[in-house]
Amino acid sequence: MVTLSRQFEESVTGSNKVSEGRRWLFQVGISVGICILVTALLFYSEVSNWLVLTTGLLLFAFFLFFNIYALRNYYNLPYRLAAARLRSMIAGNMSESLPDPPVSEARDLFKTINDLSSELQAKSRMIDKLERMRIDFVANVSHELKTPLTSIKGYTETLKGGAALDPTVSGKFLDRIEENTNRLIAIISDLLVLSHIESFPQDVNWEIFDASQLTQKLDGTFMPNLLKKKQVLKLSFSDQKLEGDLKKLEHVFTNLVDNANRYCPEGATIEVKQTKDNLHWIYEVADNGPGIPAHHQARIFERFYRVETDRGRETGGTGLGLAIVKHIVILHDGTIRLESGVGQGTRFFIKFPRRTL
């Protein structure tokens, strides 16, 4: 199958050859016609020269209109090919591009069509990527919901089969049912939060508050879990007045500290501190836990992505926390990144423009 670019090149080459021949005929015809006209005018007094004059005029007119027709086809060729390219794009072929036309007047048109083709091709790739993400998301949600539901169903059937008569066994099974129910509630709750943030990015309740309010919330929330694992939480916030959505920002720091608390061993230290540069407030959440392997770090903010799947479920994580964190940071025009290594702990760095936070 001949591509549009190949067709264009062949058409231009053929058109150039035809046009060269037509220009040669035009020049010869015009020259002969002018010679006849000049001869007739020089001997205008003779009646026979009326025939010569008429012949010269007809010859001149013939070659003139012949060349006009040839030039019209020559200049129309790029526009016919541009129309063919647009029809090809409508049919879904975005990969080809038009080369520079020989007619300078068509160059802007060709460039516009090529730019449009490139933009549509990029958007097509983005749509394909979003479709793959949608498919993966549905598959992940189905799997995450199926796991606790299957567990609940299994324990329920065992209890109905007679295990309910044994207080010790039934008590353990009911505890497992409660754990999986809580897990389902947590997953659905995080899904609703993530869906709301993505659907209503403008829903940010801007307010001015003291940085210490974030500190108090963290200290009060995690004290029981920290004491249980003998972990230390160090908080270093300034007395600066901040502007942002307090509830959403609490979610950011609560999630990061919660992850550190879950995955760090007993006796670990978790530190949250605030610094600044000329343009940003900088927040660092660091721990001296097991760290995250390098090959996992690029995907750590994806929905339902876990470094260790089984361990993540055992600790009660939903796999959505960091995705929510990233979305909230972006809502505040901020950025988030991490530094980590196996056995070296993990450090999350969050930057917010000082004009907004």
Q: Do residues 272 and 189 share a domain?
A: no
CB atoms within 10 A of CB 278: 5
Q: Residue 234 forms beta bridges with which residues?
A: 271
Question: In this predicted model, what pLDDT tens digit does every residue of 243-264 receive, in sequence order?
Answer: 889 889 988 999 999 999 988 9
User: What is the domain count for the chain?
Assistant: 3
Q: Which of 179, 199, 219 is the last residue of a domain?
A: 199
Position 18 confidence tier, pLDDT thresholds 50, 70, 90: very low
Give the largest Cα separation in the chain, rounded: 136
Q: Do residues 195 and 212 share a domain?
A: no
Q: Do residues 147 and 279 share a domain?
A: no
Instruction: Return the sign of the alpha-carbon dihedral for residues 250, 251, 254, 260.
Output: negative
Q: Do residues 20 and 54 share a domain?
A: yes
Is residue 336 one of the residues assigned to a domain?
yes
What mean pLDDT is reported for the chain? 77
Distance of alpha carbon 172 from alpha carbon 70, whole angstroms: 93
pLDDT at residue number 84: 77
Q: Do residues 79 and 193 share a domain?
A: no
pLDDT at residue number 8: 47
Q: Which of 181, 199, 217 is the last residue of a domain?
A: 199
**Of the candidates 207, 284, 280, 210, the residue with the CA atom closest to the CA atom of residue 240:** 210
Is residue 118 one of the residues assigned to a domain?
no
Residue predicted with more confidence, 135 or 172: 172
Is residue 112 one of the residues assigned to a domain?
no
Cβ contacts of 2 within 8 Å, gap of 6 or more: 10
pLDDT at residue number 1: 41
Q: Which of 162, 179, 199 is the last residue of a domain?
A: 199
Is residue 113 one of the residues assigned to a domain?
no
Is residue 107 one of the residues assigned to a domain?
no
Q: Do residues 149 and 266 share a domain?
A: no
Q: Between vectors from CA 104 to CA 99 and to CA 107, what angle results, nearest 5°? A: 45
Cα separation values, 59 from 25, 55, 66, 68, 353, Å: 12, 6, 10, 14, 79
Q: Do residues 160 and 239 share a domain?
A: no
pLDDT at residue number 336: 95
Residue predicted with more confidence, 315 or 326: 326
pLDDT at residue number 161: 86
Is residue 130 one of the residues assigned to a domain?
no
What pTM was estimated for this model as a whole? 0.64
SS3 readout for 233-247: EEEECCCCEEEECHH
Distance of alpha carbon 210 from alpha carbon 119, whole angstroms: 45
Cα separation values, 315 from 173, 204, 292, 293, Å: 18, 31, 16, 19
Structure tokens at 247: 């509830």
Q: Do residues 170 and 217 share a domain?
A: no
Position 118 confidence tier, pLDDT thresholds 50, 70, 90: confident
Position 28 confidence tier, pLDDT thresholds 50, 70, 90: low
Q: Do residues 229 and 343 share a domain?
A: yes
Give per-residue burial for 53-89: e unless 16+ CB within 10 Å, then b. Answer: beebeebbeebeeebeebeeebeebbeebbeebeebb
Mean pLDDT, range 174-198, rounded to an integer:
88
Distance of alpha carbon 216 from alpha carbon 218, whole angstroms: 6
Q: Residue 338 forms beta bridges with which residues?
A: 348
Question: In this predicted model, what pLDDT tens digit does every residue of 260-310 receive, in sequence order?
Answer: 998 899 999 999 998 888 888 899 999 998 999 988 898 899 888 877 655
Q: Do residues 168 and 224 share a domain?
A: no
Q: 173 is in which domain, residue-wise?
A: 141-199
What does the CA dihedral 304, 306, 311, 315 come to, rounded to 10 degrees?
Answer: -60
pLDDT at residue number 90: 75
**Of the candidates 195, 307, 212, the residue with the CA atom closest to the CA atom of residue 259:** 307
pLDDT at residue number 327: 93
Structure tokens at 102: 């020989």
Q: Do residues 184 and 214 share a domain?
A: no
pLDDT at residue number 166: 81
**Do 11 and 81 touch, CB atoms closer than 8 A?**
yes
Residue predicted with more confidence, 221 or 205: 205
**Do 331 and 324 touch, CB atoms closer than 8 A?**
no
Sheet architecture: strand order including 335-340: 232-236, 269-276, 280-287, 346-353, 335-340
pLDDT at residue number 12: 46
Is residue 123 one of the residues assigned to a domain?
no
Q: Do residues 230 and 317 share a domain?
A: yes
Is residue 158 one of the residues assigned to a domain?
yes
pLDDT above 80 (res 89)? no
pLDDT at residue number 68: 62
Which CATH number does the domain housing residue 279 bear? Answer: 3.30.565.10
Instruction: Return the sign of the alpha-carbon dihedral for residues 103, 107, 109, 110.
Output: positive
Which CATH number does the domain housing residue 189 bear? Answer: 1.10.287.130
Mean pLDDT, range 317-341, rounded to an integer:
90
Mean pLDDT, range 107-119, rounded to an integer:
78
